[in-house]
Amino acid sequence: MVNTQVTLCGIALENPVIPASGTFGFGREFAALYDINCLGTFSFKGTTLHPRFGNPTPRIAECAAGMLNAVGLQNPGVEHVKAVELPALAQIFHKPVMANVSGFSVAEYVSVVEQLTDEPQIGWFEVNISCPNVHGGGMSFGTSPAAAEEVTRAVRAVTKKPLIVKLSPNVTDIAAIARACEAGGADGVSLINTLLGMRLNLRTRKPLLANTTGGLSGPALLPLAVRMVYQVYEAVKIPIVGMGGVSSAEDVLELMMAGATAVEVGAANLVDPYASEKIVKALPQVMEQYGIARLADIIGAAHR
């Protein structure tokens, strides 16, 4: 019998599979399809201080081996999440949940985390400094080590819960950003978010997305994610949540061997709403296939 359990920043997970923020709503949408308690946990919809409608449509453009999105952090705001989404979630999900938060200033990040830190179901904060689809926030904090450390340090001061900082691949040296987050007090980092991309409509000769550019996700990202997780594992001592192009149990093992403690599943949930459940179910058999008795033993195996 294989053991799929891992421990992420001091909290035990039955398995390392975590649906990524922005691809799983607040859980209710998927709980109608299957028992989401089979998951390790999930990262809920990116939450900001104030409600956001997001970017104008069209927001989605397909491409080979993936998709572009420019949703723009559409969400109901932190007050609604506290009053409506978290109580509803408590009825269907009986594990700690990961709260993904974003902001347009350091003060906004701090305020969102302050308002959520006493919520009992929140196990971790995933601080998104890597969203490429908003202006004046998100990725602007994640492309500078100094800015990344500033946000991390400010949020660290207002919560005792594990703090995971979500990193952007749209940088020259992701290891430098990870080290800055570690220096600022992060308990972990998650990577990678989407790569900035663009598509054109050949008839109109204009961008397909109203935002012009969008974040590329999907299977095309996996080799890049493996490379960046590998690099960050060598640069920091804190745990890594790996993501980017994951669509199978084999992909989970690959990212864990590169250095990830847990693995988020993103665009695959939009292609197949049962994707995360299927990966959880497939993990034991795939572990046996590769002679893995205990999943925690393969974290960073590629470095040994």
User: Which residues on neighbouring strands pair with residue 200, listed in sequence order?
Assistant: 207
User: Which residues on neighbouring strands pair with residue 11, listed in sequence order?
Assistant: 8
Q: Say if CB 113 and CB 158 are below 8 A apart.
A: yes
- Say which DSSP state 102 is in: -
DSSP 22-44: TSSTTSHHHHTTS-GGGSS--BP
How many other CB atoms are found less than 10 A from the CB of residue 169?
Answer: 22
Short-list 236, 293, 298, CA closest to 1? 293
| Cα separation, 137 vs 113, whole angstroms | 16
User: Which residues on neighbouring strands pair with residue 164, listed in sequence order?
Assistant: 126, 188
How many other CB atoms are found less than 10 A from the CB of residue 108?
Answer: 17
State how far Cα 252 lies from the chain centre: 14
**Whether residue 131 lies in the annotated active site:** yes
* Choice among 38, 63, 131, 181 that is catalytic: 131
Short-list 187, 145, 142, CA closest to 169? 142
Q: Say if CB 242 and CB 258 are below 8 A apart.
A: yes
| Cα separation, 236 vs 159, whole angstroms | 22
Half-sphere exposure of 146 (CA within 13 A, CB side): 0
Residues marked as catalytic: 131
